Structure 1
């Protein structure tokens, strides 16, 4: 019972930390706005501090008030809400697809050592390919695919491109988790005539959960980044990525709309990571540090 108070206090502080960090960010934002000259600071011909005019760095409250400005038949806030929800749906699909592919690859590499040795270098090298160069290729290939009589849709290319970023952390984290059970635990199941499949279900996968969850948090952020970049690269309308381009073209006089769109995109990552954190709470019983005392195949 006495431990509940510190535990509750720790949860409160974990909630207050993001709020305090956001308040500090706003304070630094306004400090830069107040201290740095409007034209920035240059040493010779090299600019060392950015411009702080309203066209380059609006006040933080201007980013909030711009949400009420009209944008066609609606407001800027409504436009950002609609486009952000579209991107969030694609990011969720990308997170699911990337997670399935990553876990499947990890299980395959854990089962066959030869597959791990042959496949792991290519998994690592795959992440060195620039996403902006990959996006047009995926969109071009997808345009030639027909699934159950239905032509490939542009949003499918975005999901595939974003899942390309997701599968890597999930595959690496899951593989390390599957290899984490102690040798004694594996031998105990083998002595009970448990085969590879039973060992996977009852030992390796539960032991991998504490490794998978942090990888999913990374994958959630990667899904949002991949979706936004894919929308921009493929020119797909309807998402927050395309909206950033539209507002950037309108930011000559005031960049508040552009900053609002960028912040909305960042909040998508927070939302998706929060959903993964909920899954972490549900799977908390699998966080057993003592289970991973060694490595076995």
Structure 2
């Protein structure tokens, strides 16, 4: 069970990437009925460090704090792609993985994990700007340059900036379940579900529109995912011609009605697989995907995993 979390920082740490870890694991949300983590920021280079933005931060914790952590997060930092790292830090990371702890990198923090040898033979990711350099510096790593994050438990790596939020929430989902992760996401006002199964990855969910033009239609579509609808029917609800509706929909959501519906159906299927024991046929019917075969096809296409594998990730090996 995930209880003890440490973020380890070096000179030049980037505030946002550190803040992501602090926001997910460092806040006391017990008044919301959510778990409280024993969280600390630990320094790998003395009690006072400079941030990438010029201000300093201090912490009473050194590398000894990593010895008891269930999860060690390594946020990004300035020059992390090319600098050297304290051998004591690399040893601490290796020991953590050996004793069963997880390590997480956010953006260029992945270079620290690479220097510790933790990427050898593992899939991993980083900000797309650093992907080629990561591959060249650590040729035994299997770099996936186009994904939000990769879970190769116990090593989780994430791409730049907000992808770190996705990776942190993914870990919460695995440890405390989807309800806890979703509630934390709502409090953070971020999408609750930009992830895939263990050792899998997904593309970003298509954005929902907050505009008034098609907003009411989007609400109706989401409430009737099990129904087959046409652009003509949706356009009638919006009091537009089909051509105008399709154009407005694309402008305000960035996608077509068909693709938006498909993505929402897959998201609902993910929730049902996580939280219920419903059969694949029942989930396919409730989500409008039709049959278990169609459900499986869309999962493999969109999430690069099967519904059964996805369910086992969040509900244990006994789940069917």
| TM-based fold match above 0.5 | no
Larger Rg: 1
TM-score range relative to shorter protein: under 0.3
TM-score w.r.t. length of structure 1: 0.22
TM-score w.r.t. length of structure 2: 0.21
Higher strand share: 2
Higher helix share: 1
